[in-house]
Structure 1
Amino acid sequence: MRIEDIFSDLPTLETGRTILRKLRSEDEQDIFRYGSDDEVSRYTSWPTHQTMEDTRHYLNKVLQKYDQHAVAPWGIVDKETGRVIGTSGFMAWNVHHDKAELGYALSKDYWNRGYMTEVIRTIISYGFERMKLVRIEASCLPSNLGSARVMEKAGMTFEGIIRQSIFVKGKHEDLKLYSIVVDDYQNQNNPR
């Protein structure tokens, strides 16, 4: 499996309440709406969007990744409103080791309603079924209890704390590491 096999044309996926699709330039207002929220960016590696130019810069980077057939996120579209309410997808894919790392961000208006768990479960299924991954991992700051709950509800297992793993927003931060391996996924989806 090659990265280009998946990311040359990132497919549209669907959950009960969302559509996962490539971002488009016309999504910039929606992205700015949640990207400029200090509560949303509080636990992310990226700074709060201060201006629409910040959002355009982010969006252009994602669109370039699509053009280069590189690993890039899906936009999360709320079926009810048609708005982009966040992003999710693989941030890195190690093809040799058959593993990938998940990342996500969601508008505060949709927190604590199960949207992200729904999305992550769909992406995990895609990773194991289509990308033939053996391991999927994700991490969050220890203080990000909501993100930790999402990973647990999506079937991921807490593995431990990676001390001072990243330098973000001016300081070194620990990360809580979660993972799911293909055997866990198959056992969860095909109980005996």
Structure 2
Amino acid sequence: MDTSLFHSLEGKNICFKSLSTNDAEEIHSYASDEEVSRFIGWNLMNTLDETREYIETMLKRESAGTHLYASIVLKSTQAIIGTAMIFNFDQKSNHAEIGYVFHKEHWGKGYGSESVALMSDFAFRSLNLHKLHATVVDANIGSARILEKNGYELEGRLKDYYLIEDKYYDALLFGKVQTK
């Protein structure tokens, strides 16, 4: 899988670039934040070394062709504000899952919606996928709104799917099918 196109996606306010261990400090600023990591499925990164090791794991997955990852860069400052990913590729059914995480200073500013739009367009046009899906913790209202703004439909709910901080949360299943 050619990752260079994914790493060069560009929108009005953001652009994507390749993940790099050289950016570990910037990524650690949100990967080590309990509020950010609470609902994303990543373990909280307690040290810079843990973040660097996780970036190396992501790079190995990308090299193996099972995942696509990109750092999300704010064009106005060139700061890394998040991570975008496409993963769980199903070649037979021609679909994949998307995910994203942002530094909390950049929540609610439209960058999530812009990132999902870029990923969706790339996946449908360049990867020729038929469907994209995302799983969201029901308490993560902002993430659900991002998907809805991009035409993803709520397709299902898994009751008490996640146990986070001794509390159960439902999983919301969103999907979007390519329209030709």
User: TM-score higher than 0.5 here?
Assistant: yes
Does the residue aligned with 1:113 lie in a helix, a strand or coil?
A: coil
Q: Structure 1 unaligned runs (5+)?
A: 187-192
8 A contact 2:133–2:174 mirrored in 1: yes
Cα RMSD (Å): 2.0
Does the residue aligned with 1:62 lie in a helix, a strand or coil?
A: helix
1:110-160 deviations in Å (ceiling 9; x for gaps): 100100100100110011111111110001011110110010011111112
Over 3 Å counting, the alpha-carbon distance change for 1:141 and 1:52 in structure 2 is same
8 A contact 1:164–1:173 mirrored in 2: yes
- Residue of structure 2 in register with 1:30 after alignment: 26
8 A contact 1:8–1:66 mirrored in 2: no
| 2:39 aligned with 1:81 | no
Matches within 5 A, 1:16-55: 16-55=12-51
1:37-76 deviations in Å (ceiling 9; x for gaps): 1110111112221111110111111222233333131110
Over 3 Å counting, the alpha-carbon distance change for 1:169 and 1:88 in structure 2 is farther
Q: Number of paired residues?
A: 180
Does the residue aligned with 1:73 lie in a helix, a strand or coil?
A: strand
| Structure-2 separation of matches of 1:157 and 1:31 | 30
| Structure-2 separation of matches of 1:33 and 1:70 | 26
Matches within 5 A, 1:59-74: 59-74=55-70
Aligned counterpart in structure 1 of residue 87 of structure 2, from 80, 84, 91: 91
- Residue of structure 2 in register with 1:189 after alignment: none
- Residue of structure 2 in register with 1:180 after alignment: 176
| Structure-2 separation of matches of 1:104 and 1:61 | 17
| Structure-2 separation of matches of 1:95 and 1:167 | 30
Over 3 Å counting, the alpha-carbon distance change for 1:91 and 1:166 in structure 2 is farther
| Structure-2 separation of matches of 1:101 and 1:75 | 17
Over 3 Å counting, the alpha-carbon distance change for 1:99 and 1:67 in structure 2 is closer
| Structure-2 separation of matches of 1:78 and 1:166 | 31
TM-score by length of 1: 0.85
- Residue of structure 2 in register with 1:113 after alignment: 109
Q: Percent identity?
A: 29
TM-score by length of 2: 0.91
1:82-117 deviations in Å (ceiling 9; x for gaps): 121111121211011010101110110110010010
| Structure-1 separation of matches of 2:65 and 2:167 | 32
| Structure-2 separation of matches of 1:12 and 1:164 | 38
Over 3 Å counting, the alpha-carbon distance change for 1:9 and 1:20 in structure 2 is closer
**Amino acid in the other structure paired with 1:92:** N
8 A contact 1:23–1:63 mirrored in 2: yes
| Structure-1 separation of matches of 2:53 and 2:64 | 16
